[in-house]
Structure 1
Amino acid sequence: MNGNPISSTAISVQMAYQYYIENKFIVNRKYQRKLVWTMEEKAAFIDSLQKCYSVPLFLFANKNIEGVASFEIIDGMQRLNAIMAFIENEYPIKTFDGEYRYFDLETLSSTKSAMDNGEIIQRTPKLERQLCVNITNYPLPFSFISADEKSIEDIFRRINSYGRQLSNQEIRQAGAIGLFPELVRKVACIIRGDVSPHDQLKLNEMKLISLSNKRLNYGIVMEDIYWVKQHIITIPNMRVSRDEELIAWILSYMIMGEQISPTSYTLNKLYKYSITDNDNLSTKIEAQIEHLGSTTIQQWFSSIHSFIIDILDYAKKDFRTLVFSEEYSEGLVRTYQVIFLAFFELIIKEKMCVSDKLQLINKLDKIAKKHLLGISKSKWDAKDRFERIQSIKGIIKCCFKEATGNNVLNENWTLELDNLLRLSRIEGSQYDFKSGFHDLIENSKFNTKLVQKIIEILTAEVNKGPQTYGYVVVGLTEGEKDFERFKKHYNTSKGELFAGTDFYITGVEDEIKKYYGGDGDKLQNDILNTIKNTSAIDETVKNYITQHFRMVKYKEHDIIVFQLKSENDPVLYNDTIYVRKGNNTEAVTGVSAIKDFYLKIFSNK
């Protein structure tokens, strides 16, 4: 802390909303918990404002982001979100007469303007105008501090430790430094789907990755999260981050081996990293992560996770039903560790692949009920877990064979595409999606201009700054109308709507069948030859795109992925700098505009 005093003041709800729409509220996901309040919890808080009850203090750290005064939320994120969501008509509150009513958007000039522009829709019945005025005039107790990041994290942890508002895992994770906590956090976000392109997000972006058990037109529905859908972790336990505990136990075994104990006590030690204590368990796991590489470990986890999804999809059963039954289950978190790590040892450590998927499913059918009885009642230490992993591994090993050539798991993009689509809702300028390389008309030919356009888009995507990635994914059709045209053109019924978007995942396999007789290599050759023959980009950029170009699997679909990364300078296309403005690609023209671009984007390389 730099010694600056805390300043406190009362800020009206109306002024707080103005800060919100000006993007002044910042969330640091390194320590802030997820948006997890239910509609009922949000409505109860607004009811407190309506009744003029006292509410807890809101605490912020003063920040300066790109020259703009901003406020990083230390305490009060759930409550702030409840206020903003209510004002923007996302849910109603129960009034004195027992009716559920929505905020009247004509109460504030800012919400009326947004309504007139079609940005917010007025829902009915409306709350009485005077009650809306009373709520927007409510004085919220705001306090502001100036502190460094370490001090902010320490304050956050103390507030939530003493009040016991957070779970044990959330307290462990809050402000924890080191490679292991960061790895757990990243993997957990990827599996849940609440990934974000940066650690610091605007509060109004958080709703896109909020967790809810109500079906809204944004965010992530709790029932659709992998852990809940597979009946491994309940919704209440998701809210207290039991998924992160499970992931931490799995990752610690993958990194340190069978000697690591799967207990809360061990997790407490793993999260207490100290650079001065060489005998600390957390120091040892940090060194091993350095040795193996965080990216490699994350890929291991994603590979096994995608493999399990593929097996469950093929079996047409959720995890609990497959390994236990619909009527009976016990110790699901422990059981999942055992089966996941048995796959990890066979596929990653012993470099094997499935030889008979149907036989594997038959082996897994009620395997926990037959071979893991009593798992929830055992002492559950390192030895017990290891023995159970070896037992399951021995039962299923006959379904595997030695892998040869490229590891097919690297081509499974189920998890990666899910998260690219989610990230595109927050940072859309770095992602673009196309349906295919042939127009949906009879006798169409391979569209070389589309490949050129894809290259142009990639250069624009990475011109956000140094070390920026850009992606174009082919095999997705946008909108129901184009999806119907796609199905008619290829005479197919395949394709699925990705939740929370208007993208249908259709793949390019029908295009390959219609125009290439089912030979995907011919399509890839057309694409790569077009890239190699272009003169619009330099050889370094061309080589990066061709080397990272790939056809991958998303469930039963073939998807094509283009990728580009900027280094320390803008990437040119036809000697022109292109940038993304929303979903559009625009050239930077004029001396002043180009100079401004360099000063703002690449001056701090």
Structure 2
Amino acid sequence: MTGPTETELSVQGESLQQLYSQYTKGRFLVNRRYQRKLVWSVEEKEKLVDSVLERLPIPLILLAETVHEEAARLEVIDGLQRLNAIFAFIENEFPIDGKYFDLETLADTKYLKDHTKLTQREPMLDRGQCRDFANYLLPVSTYRSASESSVDEVFRRINSSGRHLSLQEIRQAGATVEIANLVRKISAAVRGDASLTDYVKLEDMPKISITNRQLEYGIYDAEIFWVKQGILSRDAVRESRDEELVLDILLDLILQPLASSGSEYRNAAYGDDRAGGATSAAIVHTRLLTLGPKEVERRFMEVLDLFKETLDVADSPYATWTVTQQNPRGVPRHFHALFVAVAQLVHDENLVPKSRNEFADALKGFWDRDLSIPGGGNWGGERKSQLINAVKGLLRPHFTRTTDRHSLQLQEHALRFESTLRMALTEEALFELKQGFCRLNNAGMFDDASFEKVLRTASAMANTRPSSSGLIFFGVADDLKDAKAVENFSKVQATRLDRFYITGTQHELEALKRSVDEHFRWLINRIKNSKLQPEFADALAATLSPFRYRNYLLWKLEPKPGRSPVTHDGKFYERRGPSTELVEGPNALIELVRRFP
């Protein structure tokens, strides 16, 4: 199949210096709808740098010209890991043979060094070697006038042999079926590398990369839930076996009776016409729409949170707690069966554990019982159902029927919140964090001026683009200084999450002498009577929601764009990174209006 005749493909050699210059200008874009994670180890990056220094050939980089946020960009189709390794070495993130790139070699790195954006590490590599490295010509193929579908097809064809990507990554690449979107979203949330939108600038990708070392940025692979609990190995997660496991579990959550698990059944769910039956794309799509993707996601996260909380009580990883005999490759099917069994108890029978301690005790040595789980290959639906029914029978005495659904609805799933908050690392323009509603030195005095500024920021978020929604959290400090101030004046101990600090707002409500419901109604009225454009104020107020994360009371607002830009106090504002700026001048106003066709 050939692409559109107007599509052009050019191949030329570009120096690493030229590529880095484009990188510093923010021209490279990563489409996470199909692009794999940043998963190269430091050792793999070092090997690539060594190949360049030895003047050995390395594979070409494939880019596609595109427009994002009204600016020309270069979407990375193939070569994400290589580009990241090259730019990371140039920016002194790792050495080669113990020596770092000399930042004085390039005008761009010297400028960043002089403006304290980069710091020179020592010892330094010989300046001549650095110059040779920067002048290395890398073959770059640029795909012009490419459509989204053609880029997806190119990506699949490049990796169809399976040498570059795992079967699940190829299956997931460019897939548009709803189950694929759900697998992508949940898997990223569990790993911690979720992003608010599909597009992420290449320079932001390291913040959510998976690394084999504890660095100042990225996600340490040993701390990822699947690895930390011994369910999957590090290499398995790097090969997206976690997404495969999430897919298998999701199919068992939405299909009744349970279908077989295996490669051909996964292919069928993604639309492979050669495989059909119970997991055909049509059946999966219908069932998923019947239950609702958000409801299925909620159920998955609720059960996973239950396991995380219980394992915290056990103070032991899942694998060592539930299975005496260790398996270095992990125990994915053990977890799969137990997860589905608990999900059926919770959501089909409306049960909850009597206590986390009792549930933890019930799981201790659980798989040492005479319960048969097959190894590799397909897992038949009937055999799987028999096992899950047996698991439920063993666990049911440790569960009880719940009657307090209202309090459960206030519980925001910890993983979902953590995943969402981490998105602020790559989407500063669409996030705003406030430690609370009141003054730092007086928890009983509502900070009206600060709240009005937040509402102004909400209007700016809504003016970003028609497809982007913002998120504003109250009860989260974005720096240690504010967290310490809350602790000093209110005696509230903050909990750190990445570079953020969870402070909560319960101490403020106590000082204000308001219940959650009273404060909720008060805030709704305050938003509706603010300086915001009235219809936008009403829509924003409708998104206000309190929730609990662990023992902290937090609040969320979700500014959503309308069909046209919105005003605050009669003026238009927009977000430029983490700042809210007034839109001034006729040209800027015209540009803003053009975002809303």
Is the contact made by 1:303 and 1:412 (CA closer than 8 Å) also made in structure 2? no
The 1:379/1:429 distance shift into structure 2, 3 A limit, reads: closer
User: Match of 2:477?
Assistant: 477
Deviates more, 1:162-171 or 1:7-16: 162-171
The 1:467/1:159 distance shift into structure 2, 3 A limit, reads: closer
> How many Å separate the matches in 2 of 1:516 and 1:587?
37
Shift of 1:135: 0.5
User: Match of 1:97?
Assistant: none
> How many Å separate the matches in 1 of 2:89 and 2:207?
16
The 1:89/1:377 distance shift into structure 2, 3 A limit, reads: closer
The 1:443/1:196 distance shift into structure 2, 3 A limit, reads: closer
Cα deviation 1:31-84 (Å, max 9, x = unaligned): 221111111100110101101112222222333446654332222211111111
Q: Does 1:505 align with 2:502?
A: yes
Shift of 1:465: 2.0
User: Match of 1:175?
Assistant: 174
Q: Does 1:249 align with 2:248?
A: yes
User: Match of 2:588?
Assistant: 593
The code of the aligned residue for 2:31 comes to N
The code of the aligned residue for 1:489 comes to F
Equivalent of 2:36, from 33, 36, 49?
Answer: 33
Q: Does 1:86 align with 2:89?
A: yes
Deviates more, 1:57-66 or 1:456-465: 57-66
Deviates more, 1:370-379 or 1:569-578: 370-379
Shift of 1:319: 2.3
Is the contact made by 1:472 and 1:561 (CA closer than 8 Å) also made in structure 2? yes
Percent identity between the two aligned chains = 31
> How many Å separate the matches in 1 of 2:162 and 2:520?
58
User: Match of 1:418?
Assistant: 418
Is the contact made by 2:265 and 2:275 (CA closer than 8 Å) also made in structure 1? no
The 1:513/1:269 distance shift into structure 2, 3 A limit, reads: same
After TM superposition, the structure 1 = structure 2 runs for residues 320-335 of structure 1, keeping only pairs within 5 Å, are 320-324=319-323, 332-335=331-334
Q: TM-score, normalised by structure 1?
A: 0.90
User: Match of 1:16?
Assistant: 19
After TM superposition, the structure 1 = structure 2 runs for residues 127-206 of structure 1, keeping only pairs within 5 Å, are 127-146=125-144, 147-162=146-161, 164-206=163-205
Q: Does 1:432 align with 2:435?
A: no
> How many Å separate the matches in 2 of 1:384 and 1:329?
25
**Tell me, what secondary structure is at the counterpart of 1:101?**
coil
The 1:248/1:48 distance shift into structure 2, 3 A limit, reads: same
Cα deviation 1:253-280 (Å, max 9, x = unaligned): 1122333112122112222346999998
> How many Å separate the matches in 2 of 1:414 and 1:386?
29
**Tell me, what secondary structure is at the counterpart of 2:207?**
helix
Equivalent of 1:550, from 545, 549, 557?
Answer: 545
User: Match of 2:316?
Assistant: 317
Deviates more, 1:353-362 or 1:455-464: 353-362
Q: Does 1:2 align with 2:4?
A: yes
User: Match of 2:269?
Assistant: 270
Is the contact made by 1:516 and 1:523 (CA closer than 8 Å) also made in structure 2? no
Cα deviation 1:391-445 (Å, max 9, x = unaligned): 2222333322144543715622412321222211111111111112232325852
> How many Å separate the matches in 2 of 1:483 and 1:458?
23
Deviates more, 1:550-559 or 1:277-286: 277-286
Cα deviation 1:127-184 (Å, max 9, x = unaligned): 1100000011111112233443333323322222326122121122223332222221
Cα deviation 1:463-488 (Å, max 9, x = unaligned): 11224322211112233333222222
User: Match of 1:468?
Assistant: 468
Cα deviation 1:194-220 (Å, max 9, x = unaligned): 112222332222222211011222222
> How many Å separate the matches in 2 of 1:481 and 1:158?
50
The code of the aligned residue for 2:216 comes to N
User: Match of 2:401?
Assistant: 401
Cα deviation 1:87-137 (Å, max 9, x = unaligned): 11111111xxxxx11100110001100111111111111111000000111
Instruction: Could you tell me which runs of 5 or more consecutive residues in structure 1 were left unpaired when the two chains were aligned.
Output: 95-99
Shift of 1:13: 1.0
Is the contact made by 1:516 and 1:522 (CA closer than 8 Å) also made in structure 2? no
Is the contact made by 1:27 and 1:200 (CA closer than 8 Å) also made in structure 2? yes
The 1:278/1:168 distance shift into structure 2, 3 A limit, reads: closer
Is the contact made by 2:64 and 2:74 (CA closer than 8 Å) also made in structure 1? yes
> How many Å separate the matches in 1 of 2:368 and 2:275?
46
After TM superposition, the structure 1 = structure 2 runs for residues 545-584 of structure 1, keeping only pairs within 5 Å, are 545-584=540-579
User: Match of 1:114?
Assistant: 112
The 1:236/1:590 distance shift into structure 2, 3 A limit, reads: same
Q: Does 1:72 align with 2:70?
A: no
> How many Å separate the matches in 1 of 2:133 and 2:260?
51
**Tell me, what secondary structure is at the counterpart of 1:564?**
coil
Is the contact made by 1:467 and 1:568 (CA closer than 8 Å) also made in structure 2? no
User: Match of 1:536?
Assistant: 531
Is the contact made by 2:268 and 2:274 (CA closer than 8 Å) also made in structure 1? no
**Tell me, what secondary structure is at the counterpart of 1:91?**
coil
> How many Å separate the matches in 2 of 1:345 and 1:328?
27
User: Match of 2:287?
Assistant: 288
The code of the aligned residue for 2:131 comes to V
When the two structures are aligned, how many residues end up with a matched partner?
592
The 1:361/1:371 distance shift into structure 2, 3 A limit, reads: farther
> How many Å separate the matches in 1 of 2:449 and 2:71?
41
> How many Å separate the matches in 1 of 2:462 and 2:531?
16
Is the contact made by 2:462 and 2:562 (CA closer than 8 Å) also made in structure 1? no
> How many Å separate the matches in 1 of 2:155 and 2:376?
36
Is the contact made by 1:434 and 1:476 (CA closer than 8 Å) also made in structure 2? yes
Shift of 1:560: 1.6
**Tell me, what secondary structure is at the counterpart of 1:558?**
strand
User: Match of 2:222?
Assistant: 223
Is the contact made by 2:443 and 2:490 (CA closer than 8 Å) also made in structure 1? no
The code of the aligned residue for 2:14 comes to I
Shift of 1:446: 2.6
**Tell me, what secondary structure is at the counterpart of 1:105?**
coil
Q: Does 1:305 align with 2:304?
A: yes
Instruction: Could you tell me which runs of 5 or more consecutive residues in structure 2 were left unpaired when the two chains were aligned.
Output: none
Deviates more, 1:13-22 or 1:104-113: 13-22
Is the contact made by 2:264 and 2:275 (CA closer than 8 Å) also made in structure 1? no
**Tell me, what secondary structure is at the counterpart of 1:11?**
strand
The code of the aligned residue for 2:73 comes to S
**Tell me, what secondary structure is at the counterpart of 1:565?**
coil
Is the contact made by 1:214 and 1:221 (CA closer than 8 Å) also made in structure 2? yes
The 1:199/1:366 distance shift into structure 2, 3 A limit, reads: same
Cα deviation 1:485-514 (Å, max 9, x = unaligned): 22222234x322212x2x211222333445
The 1:68/1:524 distance shift into structure 2, 3 A limit, reads: closer
| RMSD (Å) for aligned C-alpha atoms | 2.8
Is the contact made by 1:274 and 1:283 (CA closer than 8 Å) also made in structure 2? no
Cα deviation 1:354-411 (Å, max 9, x = unaligned): 4433332322232222364555489732122222222222233332214454371562
The 1:371/1:478 distance shift into structure 2, 3 A limit, reads: farther
